[in-house]
Amino acid sequence: MIGTPIFDVFSTLLAGVNHASRFNDGGALAAGAWMIPVVPMVMAFLIVFFGKRSPWKGWVMATGTMLFVAIYGMALFLMNLVEGITYQGSVWLSDVGTTAFGVLNVEWGWMVDGLSIMMYFLVGVVGVLIFWYARGYMEDDVRYTWFFASFTLFAGGMLVLVSAPNLIQLIVGWELVGVSSYLLIGHYWEEHQNSSAAIKAFMTNKVADVGLFVGAIIIGVSVGSFRFSEILGVVEGESGDSTLAKYAFWAGLAIFIGAMGKSAQFPLHVWLPDAMAGPTPVSALMHAATMVTAGVYLIGRLFPFYMNDLFASDVRTVIIIVGAATLLLAGLLALVQDDIKRVLAYSTLSQLGYMTAAMGAGAYTAGLFHLFTHGFFKALLFLGAGSIIHAVHSNNMSDMGGLRKYMPRTFWTFLIGSFALAGIFPLAGFWSKDEILASIQYDASHGGGAVASTVLVVAIIGAFVTALYMTRTVYLTFFGKYKGDAHPHESPKTMTLPMVGLTIGAVGLGALNIPGITTWFTDSLAARFVAPGDHHATSIEWVLAIIGTAAALAGIALGYRLWHRDAAIQRDRDTFRIPVLYPLLENKYYIDDFYMGNIIRPVRGPLARAVDWFNSHIIDSVVNGAGYLARGLGKTVYLFDQRGIDGVINVSGFAASFAGGMLRLFQTGRVQHYAIMIFAGTVFLVVGLIIF
């Protein structure tokens, strides 16, 4: 009884915990952090079954869960600021195998270190504000309870992902995020284009997951363990002749392909703009704290692996180029959108490009700091956009204009969010973007070479473009005359208060990490089992800060010139028409068309049909042909037999006519009759065997 697997788990729950401590082990707070992923996962199920009967039809359960995560995350965050926590807990679930690869250890664990604590904090705090907001926004939704169940699952999946101490659990969380985003993007599945957008998101991620799977398998098998602590232990040991080092480039590249899917990097970015089909709170959470941050998080998690020259440091060149391409190309796309959510979506892509480029430049702290601050102001912008959409019943900026008079609170918070995004001093975005620029500059002079120098220029141009499209958005939305048909009004307090909360973050969080003055964020993020080994600025780079600010101001100035006047009546000037570039931007660089026309349609159409045809016309025809051939043979032999030739022929004649008889079933349909014969024959043979 005791040996039965189900009973063992209880004992391992108590005994299987392990931790190593370079910093503080976090005590009971860290040991209990398993609740951070588990509570939302369990709650998501409970809401499905009991939500409708609970207060506020499941909203209390969902938001209470997020509040719990937020408070727990905040407590850990503060504690980590004070003394740095590294803790790793695990529950052993199963062992598989012993020979070729060693033992595959299936375990459930929770990581409590600087990186995951930052994510707990971000997901929890931003999450609870968005959940709060969603009560007002989703009020009349047909599937209100279901929405909060899948929303909780979405946040829970992300928490499973960031709490994972090993690659397998990370994959579990990774896919949970994917599937819940599929549910949420397709929330209004009555319309075909929404479910198509959901499928597009899932499939694009699935393509990238091939990379993640392959990379995880290579790393796991090479190291003999999927645990980050052991993988990075091998890296720290710097043994260039290890199996991991041998495959490090390919493994690193494969993992990065996985990250490109979730973090929507060029050219796997196509799903993110379409993901706007989901309700706005979903977009807010997806673009701020969960899902798109997962890829950057993963690179951060494996950072020493990407930093070490004996391992995957060559991949960083790929990473920085992909990041730079994304930040510029997506930023340009944001210039020509009419749908306000699409503007923000492309802006997210662009900002993710910054983060990725920073990771590629070896700037662990800078990249993740931007991830952190961006989480706040992007959530703020999305909630603002949602508030506007709620008021004017349209996503299109051509139906907006002049809204600052009708919705002042939305206007002011949105404006602050836009300035933060554009990187205006002293808002949070300024500090994080500046640190990225400084890191790329450092990389350019420390081995990054011409690539990094080019990326630096691209990043500065990107800052200009960012300011330009945000200025455009603000003018088209809030200035000029109102162009729509609805009666715009300020949103209720349940919606505006969370926006105010996020505004505080967008304004003040830069103070966590001012080079040379405060190092709170840097220090807390450095609480890792294996030191990330990055470079971070220790003083403000004045020249870069001034250039970056100048680029942003120039963007605002140009935007002002282009859109401030007559924006109310001049629909023609809503879009930014540069002769050569515009058709390219309008068609999203033809990438979606390329995928659709050259991959998806051919596979789903001609190729699939060809395989089906091959199956029924070739393989099956061989089978059917053999059947009919045998029957024909049977008939011939039977005729031969009937004409009086006996002896040896009789035997084969019997066999052949038996076969012929069976095959005649193709036409007669008297299946019972013949089947009984077969049955009798079989029984006869079996009985014969027993007797003899």
Partner 1 sequence: MFEDGWGLSLIVFLPVVGAGAVLLIPRAQEQAQKLTALLFAGASFALSVFLAIGFDYGVAGFQANTAADTTWIGAINSHYHIGVDGISLPLLVLSTLMTLLSIVYSWNHWPEPENPKAFLVLILVLATGMAGTFVALDLILFFVFFEVVLLPMYFMIGIWGDKNKVKLPVVERVVEMRIYASLKFFLFTLFGSAFMLLGFLALYFRSGDGAAQRTFDIVELSMRSDLFTGVFAFWVFAALFLGFAVKVPMFPFHTWLPDAHTAAPTVGSVLLAAILLKLGTYGFVRIALPILPNEAEEWAWFIGVLAVIGIIYASLACLAQTDMKRLIAFSSVGHMGFVMLGIATLTDIGINAAIIGMVAHGAITGMLFFVVGSMSHRYHTRDMARLGGNQKLMPIMGGIFGFVAMASLGLPGLAGFWGEFMALLASWQPAAALSTDLFRTLMVIGAVGTVLTAGYMLWMLQRVNFGEPPEEWSSHELHDVDKWEMAAWVPLLAGILVLGVFPRLVFGATNDAVIEMIEAGWRFVGG
Member of 113, 114, 145, 209 binding partner 1 (CB under 8 A): 209
Residue 538 one-letter amino acid: T
| CA–CA separation, 364 and 287 (whole Å) | 20
Residue from the set 50, 590, 654, 679 that interacts with partner 1 by CB under 8 A: 679
From the list 358-366, 505-513, 535-543, 615-623, the region that binds partner 1 by CB under 8 A is 615-623
Largest CA distance in the chain: 111
Question: Could you tell me which residues come within 8 angstroms of residue 595 by beta carbon, excluding any fewer than 6 positions away?
Answer: 270
- Only one of the segments 193-201, 372-380, 419-427, 590-598 lies at the binding site for partner 1 (rule: CB under 8 A); that segment is 193-201
Which of 71, 457, 569, 603 touches partner 1 (CB under 8 A)? 603
User: 38, 157 in Cβ contact below 8 A?
Assistant: no
How far apart, in whole angstroms, are the C-alpha atoms of residue 258 and residue 213? 8
Q: Does 692 bind partner 1 (CB under 8 A)?
A: yes
Peptide bond into 426 cis (omega under 30): yes
β-bridge mates for residue 88, sequence order: 111
> Which residue number, 56 or 213, has a Cβ lying nearer to partner 1?
213
Contacts to partner 1 from residues 466-485, by CB under 8 A: none
Cα–Cα distance measured from residue 439 to residue 251, given in angstroms and rounded to the nearest whole number: 25
Closest CB to partner 1 among residues 46, 168: 168
Closest CB to partner 1 among 98 and 485?
Answer: 98
In the set 46, 60, 179, 547, which binds partner 1 (CB under 8 A)? Answer: 179
Residue type for position 637:
V
Q: How far is the CB of 599 from partner 1 (least distance, A)?
A: 11
Tell me the one-letter amino acid at 1: M
Taking the least distance from each CB to partner 1, the nearer of 185 and 416 is: 185
User: Which residues sit opposite 94 in a β-bridge?
Assistant: 106
Q: Rule CB under 8 A: which of 39-98 touch partner 1?
A: 93-98
Q: Which of 22, 561, 609, 673 binds partner 1 (CB under 8 A)?
A: 609
Closest to partner 1 by CB, 590 vs 666, is 666
Contact 85, 110 (CB under 8 A): no
Q: Which of 78, 546, 557, 686 binds partner 1 (CB under 8 A)?
A: 686
* Beta-bridge partners for 104: 96
In whole angstroms, the minimum distance from the beta carbon of 423 to partner 1 comes to 38
Q: Which of 14, 49, 53, 100 binds partner 1 (CB under 8 A)?
A: 100
Contact set for partner 1, span 214-253 (CB under 8 A): 214, 217-218, 220-221
Q: Which stretch binds partner 1 (CB under 8 A): 112-120, 198-206, 287-295, 360-368?
A: 198-206
Residue 332 CA to residue 321 CA, distance in Å, equals: 17
Does the footprint of partner 1 cover residue 345 (CB under 8 A)? Answer: no
Q: Which stretch binds partner 1 (CB under 8 A): 28-36, 188-196, 435-443, 495-503?
A: 188-196
Residue 175 in the binding site for partner 1 (CB under 8 A)? yes
Region near partner 1 per CB under 8 A, out of 130-138, 466-474, 578-586, 606-614? 606-614
From residue 489 to residue 528, what is the string marking binding to partner 1 with x (rule CB under 8 A)?
----------------------------------------
Does residue 611 touch partner 1 according to CB under 8 A? yes
Paired with 96 in beta bridges are: 104
Measured N-to-C along each axis, helices 364-392 and 292-301 cross at an angle, to the nearest 10 degrees, of: 170
Count other C-beta atoms under 10 Å from residue 236's C-beta: 16
- 144's tokens: 């209100």
Q: Quote the tokens at residue 547.
A: 């250039």
Applying CB under 8 A, what is the total number of residues that bind partner 1? 80
C-beta separation of 441 from 448 below 8 A:
no
Residue 297 φ then ψ, to 5°? -60, -45
Residue 348 to residue 353: CA distance in whole angstroms: 8
Residue-level length of the chain: 692
Between 98 and 542, name the residue whose CB sits nearer to partner 1.
Answer: 98
Complex with partner 1: residue 165 or 462, whichever CB lies closer: 165
| Residue number, 493 or 604, with CB nearest to partner 1 | 604
Q: Are 154 and 290 in contact (CB under 8 A)?
A: yes
Residue (6 or 517) nearer to partner 1, CB: 6
Binders of partner 1 in range 622-641 (CB under 8 A): 623-625, 627-628
Give 100 or 517: the residue with its C-beta nearer to partner 1: 100
- R_g of the chain, CA atoms, integer Å: 31
DSSP letter (8 states) at residue 396: B
**Which among 460-468, 522-530, 564-572, 607-615 is the span making contact with partner 1, rule CB under 8 A?**
607-615
Stretch that binds partner 1, among 326-334, 578-586, 647-655, 678-686 (CB under 8 A): 678-686
**Distance of alpha carbon 691 from alpha carbon 159, whole angstroms:** 67
Secondary structure of residue 526 in the 3-state scheme: coil
Q: In this structure, are residues 350 and 331 in contact, taking their beta carbons and an 8 Å threshold?
A: yes
- Minimum distance between the CB of residue 185 and partner 1, rounded to whole angstroms? 12
Smallest distance, partner 1 to C-beta of residue 349, A: 22
In terms of CB distance, is 242 or 519 closer to partner 1?
242
Q: Are 357 and 440 in contact (CB under 8 A)?
A: yes
Interatomic CA distance for residues 670 and 428, integer angstroms = 81
For 125, the token pair is 């705090």
Q: How far is the CB of 101 from partner 1 (least distance, A)?
A: 5
H-helix or E-strand containing 121? helix 114-137
Q: Which of 1, 14, 28, 517 binds partner 1 (CB under 8 A)?
A: 1
Taking CB under 8 A as the rule, does residue 620 contact partner 1?
Answer: yes
Nearest to 376 by CA among 648, 611, 126: 126
Contacts of 63 (CB under 8 A, 6+ apart): 128, 131, 132, 135
Minimal distance, residue 678 CB to partner 1, in Å:
8
Closest distance of CB 320 from partner 1, Å: 26
Select 2 or 28, whichever has its Cβ closest to partner 1. 2
User: Which of 139, 673, 682, 687 touches partner 1 (CB under 8 A)?
Assistant: 682
* Single residue of 11, 21, 445, 616 touching partner 1 by CB under 8 A: 616
Distance CA 273, CA 330 (A): 10
In the complex, the smallest distance separating the C-beta of residue 443 from partner 1, rounded to whole angstroms, is: 32
Q: Which of these, 655, 627, 662, 625, lies nearest to 640 by C-alpha position?
A: 655
213 binds partner 1 (CB under 8 A): yes
List of residues 6+ apart from 42 with CB closer than 8 A: none
- Is-contact 529 20, C-beta < 8 A? yes
Choosing from 51, 186, 401, 480, the residue that interacts with partner 1 (CB under 8 A) is 186
Dihedral over Cα of 31, 36, 41, 44: its sign: positive
Q: Cβ closer to partner 1: 20 or 626?
A: 626
Q: Is 190 in the site for partner 1 (CB under 8 A)?
A: yes
What contacts 6, CB < 8 A, 6 or more positions away? none
Which range in 26-34, 207-215, 297-305, 583-591 contacts partner 1 by CB under 8 A? Answer: 207-215
CB 323 within 8 A of CB 360: yes
Could you give the C-alpha distances from 202 to 190, 211, 268, 584, in angstroms and in order?
18, 15, 12, 26
Query: Residue 95: beta bridge partners?
Result: 105
Binding residues for partner 1 restricted to 110-169, rule: CB under 8 A: 168
Cβ nearer to partner 1, comparing 450 with 623 = 623
Q: Which stretch binds partner 1 (CB under 8 A): 6-14, 24-32, 351-359, 587-595?
A: 6-14
Residue 3 near partner 1 by CB under 8 A: yes
